[in-house]
A and B are shown apart, each in its own frame.
Chain A
């Protein structure tokens, strides 16, 4: 859309590249200073990476919902972070009940599965209702309309949650079985991180299998590519779109449980920042591309976890870990400027 403008004012390109190059030099310089100061050991770096991967796995699960909905409707569903938040609340209430009955302590694995089920059902239900009520009537409207509606849905869901669950931060029940660490050679891993890796791996495999190998997955891909042609094959397009929202919700709900287990808190606003981060991850990997969402989530998680110590500390920023969120959004702006198509995907500007 801005290509004509760009061509006319060619020097903006130079300025952008200058900013990019400056950041790159700062990152390299900062990393060099930190690494040569020897402040962190190899084990510490490994632990940063592992923490980043666990965090990134959560981003990846949320990012899949953004990317699937974009793939099928060409729309950015900014309410997706709220689906995640509702799922976390679903898991929270179930976890509280399980904890107070003592079941959580005596039967941790089954408890986590029940929490996952609850979160997935809640998130998927909120996702499907949002699609049915807010987005479906706007299917033929200009692109900006559903985008603005999504922001409205996001606020509606946040304040609904605030109304029902209060505005405070609640502590997610402790799962004793997940407390403590496991030593794997030189690597120290939190048990909760191991649980996140295992659950994320299983879910990603299941989603990949559904989308690429089953009839339902073919229906989703056909609707994503050409809705009329899919209908002419006998695919119920509305139902398939609802199903895509449900699958995205299921992944977001699972992410909510992981988040609760790792960060041990729930609040009505908690969907906002992880939602934006996951959106960044989806754009980083190439929006519309499932593998890209996973890759983008993991990369973003690691950059966020390693970055503050690696390059922010090196260039002398006093409290680098406060800037963690800033890194993600710098990454988002940089991709949108330099590689809007992300690592694996199509150009965002073409369709959105």
Chain B
């Protein structure tokens, strides 16, 4: 049984049929990437999974066998499906520390929260240095670290990452992708990674899906896709 199993996902924005029946699954411990050009529906897919968008009756999104489409976004976080949104969306008027505390909002065990905080601050030492600063004053890269760190404070089983490389300098993209791999390897966190930077995404992922205007057009082994002529022509810009 897949840890995240999406069947027949449709999303409508008014009259716009943004997702036209997507099937996608992520096995426990995998890194799966969803690539596609701007406007393909990647963000919409993640927002539907995390409960920020409503879906029709015949759509099914299940996590470890239980249905997510019937519960609210805040209940989905508590189940361990945690979404790092596009554009980071840190709370700019709160301090770095308060942002991290917000990540642990649903959690009860304060000792485990403290352990996770130590882990996050070790993973991203820059956050440790800027703990008392307002998040709005951080650079783009630091905000991305904070957004991921905040999600880790929610104790995720599945992490949904929406374009973590967006707007970052290449060296920072490396750092962020390294930490994503590390989270997957050392903490066993399952990852669904949405990217326009297909090159980077396919390198870290086990499997990949290609999304075009609301439909999955290709899926399979990530490394194989790196050498697929169609993928190279459309997404690797070589």
Contact = CB atoms under 8 A, between A and B. Distances in A.
Most buried by B among A219, A228, A232: A232
B163 to A, nearest CB: 15
A233 interface: yes
Contacts of A218: 94, 98, 101-102, 105
A137 interface: no
A233 B94 contact: no
B198 interface: no
Contacts of A228: 52, 73, 85, 89
Nearest to A236: B74
A94 interface: no
Given A218-B98, A229-B85, A235 B92 contact: no
A231 B50 CA distance: 9
Contacts of A234: 74, 77-78, 105-106, 154
A222 interface: yes
Nearest to A224: B93
Contacts of A235: 74, 102, 105
B91 A215 contact: no
A168 to B, nearest CB: 47
A221 interface: yes
B101 A232 contact: no
Nearest to B73: A231
A237 B154 CA distance: 17
B109 to A, nearest CB: 14
Given A231-B52, A232-B77, A234-B105, 15 more contacts: A218-B94, A219-B105, A221-B91, A221-B94, A222-B91, A228-B52, A228-B73, A230-B102, A231-B51, A231-B77, A232-B50, A232-B73, A233-B77, A233-B105, A234-B74
B105 A225 contact: no
Interface of A: 215, 218-219, 221-222, 225-226, 228-237
5 contacts: A226-B91, A231-B51, A233-B105, A235-B74, A236-B72
Contacts of B148: none
Interface string B86-109: 000111111000100111011000
B82 interface: yes
A233 B154 contact: yes
B83 interface: yes
Interface residues of B, number: 25
Nearest to A226: B89
A218 B104 CA distance: 12
Nearest to A238: B72
Contacts of B101: 218
B150 interface: yes
A233 B150 contact: yes
A12 to B, nearest CB: 35
Given A228-B85, A233-B154, A236-B72, A222 B102 contact: yes
A225 B77 contact: no
A314 to B, nearest CB: 44
Contacts of B82: 232
Per CB-CB distance, the 6 closest pairs between chain A and chain B, nearest first, are: A234-B106, A231-B73, A234-B77, A229-B89, A234-B105, A234-B74
B54 to A, nearest CB: 12
Interface in B10-51: 50-51
A198 B50 CA distance: 47
Interface in B165-197: none
Nearest to B102: A233
B92 A225 contact: yes
Contacts of A237: 74
B18 to A, nearest CB: 17
A297 B150 CA distance: 37
B87 to A, nearest CB: 10
Nearest to B147: A229
A183 to B, nearest CB: 45
A215 B107 CA distance: 12
A209 to B, nearest CB: 15
A119 B91 CA distance: 35
A234 B51 CA distance: 11
A222 B73 CA distance: 15
Contacts of B77: 231-234
B93 A221 contact: yes
Contacts of A226: 89, 91
